[in-house]
């Protein structure tokens, strides 16, 4: 349940559905097995798994949801082999080469034939709605390893509830420029600590990316890259000795790790069931992530919501 990545969205209108109303909406699109001729299907499933009955779990004013995707496994090499064999057979019979469009149609037919016999795999994507922030609008936080995964969940949520007014987190100051400034000065503000990993990008866009791992980022070598015009694309940070992460210039967080002090707090919880353990860990996590996001927003000049609200 502990999030490993984080995509943060801000609602541009108050999220007004109560937990029970949201559960009712999600129940209209339940997760199920993928159909015989479907390449995939995504629906909602209880965050507690077999321990839960509802498609939501509420703790500390935060509402956890979970999307489950089941998809057919179609190895590209296997599809290509069948397509090539059939294309060669047709070309030999008709004495001509197949056109690109014909090959694409042939591939579509092969995929449809193979779908009923394909194995399936499933995956879950967790997210939660946090309406406790001072703006009165709230956040949607998604644990996804890629933009595609995050978009799939937000798209499914929008489709399920009918409307979803939100935008990716936008701040007043450029995160890339501000993180570059931290490296140039040799420190981040207050309870943010620079770790030993970053990517430096040529701002012209045509240059390469310098990936730096397990090095002192305040060294003269790094400073020389900055002097030459390189800018930070993402940076390893630790917050308050409690959470470490890689912060991207688009404000996504990757490789989240909840450090020893938090793990000790989790271990000290008295939980007799898996549901109680989930509830306790979720409570600790959403409080920590709320503190962390508030700190990051402040470090980058606050949330730039006014234009988003006017456009909504």
- Residue 61 DSSP symbol: T
Query: Given a cut of 70, is residue 211 above it in pLDDT?
Result: yes
Q: Closest Cα partner for 8 from 286, 307, 301?
A: 286
pLDDT of residue 291: 95
CA dist list (Å): 26 to 44, 49, 75: 6, 15, 32
- 196 and 103, same domain (yes or no): no
- 127 and 109, same domain (yes or no): no
- 250 and 182, same domain (yes or no): yes
Question: Does residue 2 form part of some domain?
Answer: no
- In this structure, are strands 231-239 and 253-258 parallel, antiparallel, or unpaired? unpaired
| Number of domains the chain is built from | 3
What is the residue range of 80's domain?
Answer: 76-116
Cα(275)–Cα(271) distance, integer angstroms: 8
Mean pLDDT of 261-284: 92
pLDDT of residue 305: 59
Question: Does residue 284 form part of some domain?
Answer: yes
Check residues 223 and 47 and name the one with the higher pLDDT. Answer: 47
- 45 and 92, same domain (yes or no): no
Domain end among 167, 193, 209: 167
Question: Does residue 111 form part of some domain?
Answer: yes
Are 152 and 125 in contact by the 8 Å Cβ rule? The answer is yes
Alpha helices, DSSP H only, in the chain?
A: 19-27, 76-94, 100-114, 147-161, 175-185, 220-227, 260-267, 274-299, 306-311
Mean pLDDT of 25-30: 96
pLDDT of residue 50: 83
Retrieve residue 69's tokens.
């995707």
- 181 and 161, same domain (yes or no): no
- 202 and 234, same domain (yes or no): yes
pLDDT range class, residue 271, cuts 50, 70, 90: confident
pLDDT over 70 percentage in the chain? 96
- 108 and 247, same domain (yes or no): no
pLDDT range class, residue 258, cuts 50, 70, 90: very high
Dihedral sign for Cα 121, 254, 191, 127, please. Answer: negative
Query: Given a cut of 70, is residue 206 above it in pLDDT?
Result: no
- 91 and 203, same domain (yes or no): no
Torsion region of 95: left, alpha or beta (phi above 0 gives left; psi -120 to 50 gives alpha): left
Mean pLDDT of 108-137: 86
């Amino acid at each position: 349940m502990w999030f490993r990545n984080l995509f943060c969205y801000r609602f541009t209108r108050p999220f007004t559905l109560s937990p029970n109303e949201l559960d009712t909406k999600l129940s209209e699109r339940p997760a199920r097995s993928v159909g015989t001729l479907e390449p995939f299907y995504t629906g909602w499933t209880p965050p507690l798994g077999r321990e839960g009955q509802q498609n939501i779990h509420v703790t500390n004013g935060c509402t956890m949801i979970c999307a489950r995707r089941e998809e057919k496994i179609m190895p590209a090499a296997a599809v290509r082999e069948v397509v090539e064999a059939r294309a060669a057979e047709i070309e030999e019979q008709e004495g001509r080469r197949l056109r690109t469009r014909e090959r694409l149609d042939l591939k579509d037919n092969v995929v449809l034939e193979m779908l009923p016999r394909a194995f399936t795999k499933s995956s879950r994507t967790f997210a939660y709605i946090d309406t406790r922030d001072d703006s009165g609008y709230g956040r949607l936080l998604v644990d996804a390893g890629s933009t595609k995964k995050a978009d799939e969940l937000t798209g499914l949520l929008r489709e399920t509830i009918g409307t979803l007014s939100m935008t990716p987190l936008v701040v007043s100051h450029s995160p890339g420029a501000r993180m570059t400034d931290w490296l140039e000065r040799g420190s981040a503000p207050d309870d943010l600590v620079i770790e030993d990993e970053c990517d430096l990008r040529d701002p012209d866009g045509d240059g390469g990316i310098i990936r730096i791992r397990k090095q002192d980022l305040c060294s003269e070598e790094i400073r020389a890259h900055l002097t030459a015009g390189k800018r930070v694309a993402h940076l390893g940070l630790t917050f308050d000795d409690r959470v470490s992460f890689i912060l991207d210039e688009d404000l996504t967080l990757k490789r989240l790790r909840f450090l020893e002090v938090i793990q000790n707090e989790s271990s000290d919880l008295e939980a007799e069931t898996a549901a109680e353990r989930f509830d306790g860990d979720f409570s600790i996590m959403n409080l920590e992530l709320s503190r962390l996001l508030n700190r990051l927003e402040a470090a980058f000049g606050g949330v730039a919501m006014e234009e988003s609200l006017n456009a909504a």
